[in-house]
Each structure stands twice: as structure tokens, then as C-alpha cells.
Amino acid sequence: MIRSIENRRVVLGQEIPNCEMELKGLREMMKKVGFLWFEGFREACCLHRVIILSLRSKRVLLRTGQCFLLNGLIFLGSLFLLNTLIIPTLSWILPHHHHHYSFLRLSLIHLFYVLWFYPLYVFSIVLSTIWYNDIAKYGYAAMETSNITTHKGQNDHHVKRPSGLGGVMIGIGEQVYSILLLNVFFLEVYATGFLPYIGKLLNFVLLSWMYAYYCFEYKWNFNEVALDKRLDYFESYWAFFAGFGSPCVLAIFFFSPLVSYGIMAILFPLFVLTATGSNAEQEMSFEKDKRRDAGMERLPIFYVANKVSMWLLSLLPQDKWDQMQDRKSQ
């Protein structure tokens, strides 16, 4: 009995230091996560880069102004006009207490959405997507001629493809995979919003990652960073990118879908330029060994999206599927 008690004391004596070490490691990890999240949030708020790049490139200023004009003045202005003038006027002309008037009023409002808002919404998505790419391209060109930041070390991770038709096919396949992956991830983000209790919080975090990836993807494309490198890099520095995407989501999280879209369509070019002018890659390496030394644990953010995307790609003809598999294994 006495020996059993002594053995238990020895075991407890060993467990207590182990628990202390685990708690210390957990505190260090949380400290690292908090630091990187704050750094990402701070990077997103460096909107002075937008002013610098706009002054250096008239094309950046023009495209940014066009985004504001279309999505701010026309799209959000139409919503404001509908809610503050048209609907109150219809409610006054066609009172609620009369059934036929109510039906006519709702029909007119829905007709306004069908004939104006939904076509304008689609038109805005198409045109804004083209403008976003132009803003990133002109902003990147302006940044290359300025002293805002440099991209030392990124060119070591550019896409190495064979020349000729094979390289073109691999490039197309990689683009198809990237588009499919991000669309599946978008559906995943949308689905989390319906989860009880933790759905809103999880949706906020996933939206932050999604917008952060969209913002940095332009620069990675211009720097020809390989897709597998950028995904590995993003999942390794997940805390930084969660912080970077947070201001984007905070600006739209509590509004209706149409209003949220209009606000994001105005703000997104600003965050794209902020990401383009960021020097985060100088401080956070693309190299796996350096990330391991920094104590960063990779978080498989795109695990589900990757599995679904690869399953969908497996439905392609076998020769194209083999090319995609070879590219991912490199």
C-alpha cells in the first residue's frame, strides 16, 4: 500500500512538469497566433499604400474611381433610393390595410428588383472583376517602379512548367483547379452560416480567409508563385491571413446581402492594393524549414475544398487527370 502511494507520487511528480510544459507551449503558440493576427490586421489597414499607388498611376486612380462610381453611387445609391423614397411613396399611395393594394405594392417592388437590381448586380460582378484585375496589374506595375516594397525571394518559387503545348495545358489545368477550389471553398463558407451556435463565428473566420486569399492572389499570380506553394504558404500563416481579411468582413458582416456586396465591391480594390504593396513575404518565408523553425503549425484550411475539387477533376478524361496529378505531386 505504501509502495503504491509512493509510486503514485512519483507519477504525479512527473505529470505536473509535463502539464506545465504543455501550458507553456500553448501560451507561446497563442502568443504567436495573436501576434500574426494583429500583424495581418495592421497590414490590411495600411490604406496609405492606396494613395501612394493611385498618385503614381492614373490608371489605378481611374479604375478605383470607376468601381466607386458603379458600386457606390449607382448600385448602393439605387438601394438607398428604393428604401428611402420609392418604398415609402408606394406605401403611402397603396396602403397596407387593403389586400389588393398590398399585392400591387409588393409586385411593383419585385418588378423593380427584377428589371433593375438583379441585372445591375450581374453587370457589376462582371465589370468589377475585370476592373479588379486591372487595378492589381497597374498597382503592381506602379509598385515595381517605387520604393514601397520589393519581392526578393519570391521569384525562387515561380511556376516551372515545360515549354510548348505541355506547359500551356498544365497552366490551364492549374487555373481550372484553382477556380474550382475557390468556388468549392466559397460554398463551404456559405454553408457554415447556417450552423447553429458557432455558425456565425465560423463564417466570419472563413470569410476572412477567403477575402485575404483573393487579395493576395493577384500579386502571387504576377510573381508566378506556384499554386501548391501559395496554398502551403497560406495554410502555414493562417493567423496572419485571418487578421488581414478581418477588416474586409467587419465592413459587411452586419448588412443585408445586397448592401454587403455593394460595400465590398467598393472596398475590395483598396485591400487588393494594400496586399499588392505589402512586404509581408519578406518577413514570412515561403520555405517550409523556416516556417517550422518559426513554430508555425499548418492548418488545413482548404482540406475539404481540395478533396471535393480533386474528386470533380477525376471525372475529367484520364490524360488531363494524369497531368493534374503530376503537377500536384511536384
Match 409586385 to its residue by C-alpha cell: 107
Residue 54 resides in a domain = yes
Q: For 270-317, give the DSSP string.
A: HHHHHHHT--HHHHS-S-HHHHHHTTPPP--TTHHHHHHHHHHHTTS-
- Range(s) of the domain holding residue 312: 2-80+112-329
Total structural domains in the chain? 1
Q: Which residue has the cell 524549414?
A: 289
Q: How far is CA 240 from CA 225, 234, 248, in A?
A: 19, 9, 14
Tens digits of residue pLDDT in 49-90: 899 999 999 999 999 999 999 999 999 999 999 989 888 888
Q: CA 241, CA 281: separation in Å to the nearest integer?
A: 12
Cβ atoms of residues 216 and 166 within 8 Å? no
DSSP, collapsed to helix, strand or coil, labels residue 225 as strand
pTM higher than the cut 0.85: no
How sure is the predictor about 292, in pLDDT bands with cuts at 50, 70 and 90? low
Is 107 inside any structural domain? Answer: no
Within a domain: 266: yes
Residue 254: the pLDDT is 85
11-34 tens-digit pLDDT: 445 555 667 767 776 778 888 889
Q: Which of 18, 44, 130, 82 is nearest to 258 (CA)?
A: 82
For residue 85, being part of any structural domain is answered with: no
Residues 6 or more apart whose CB falls under 8 angstroms from that of 242 comprise: 37, 40, 205, 208, 209, 212
* DSSP SS3 for 158: strand
- Minimum mean pLDDT among 43-47, 222-226, 300-304: which range? 222-226
Query: Within a domain: residue 129?
Result: yes
Instruction: Provide the mean pLDDT of the chain.
Output: 81
Q: Work out the average pLDDT over 104-113.
A: 88
Task: Please check the confidence at residue 95 and state whether its pLDDT lies above 50.
Answer: yes
Q: What is the pLDDT of residue 194?
A: 87
Residue 168, pLDDT > 60, answer no
225-242 confidence digits (pLDDT tens): 888 888 999 999 999 999
Q: Is residue 311 part of a domain?
A: yes
pLDDT at 102: 79
Has residue 235 been placed in a domain?
yes
On whether residue 97 sits in a domain, the answer given is no
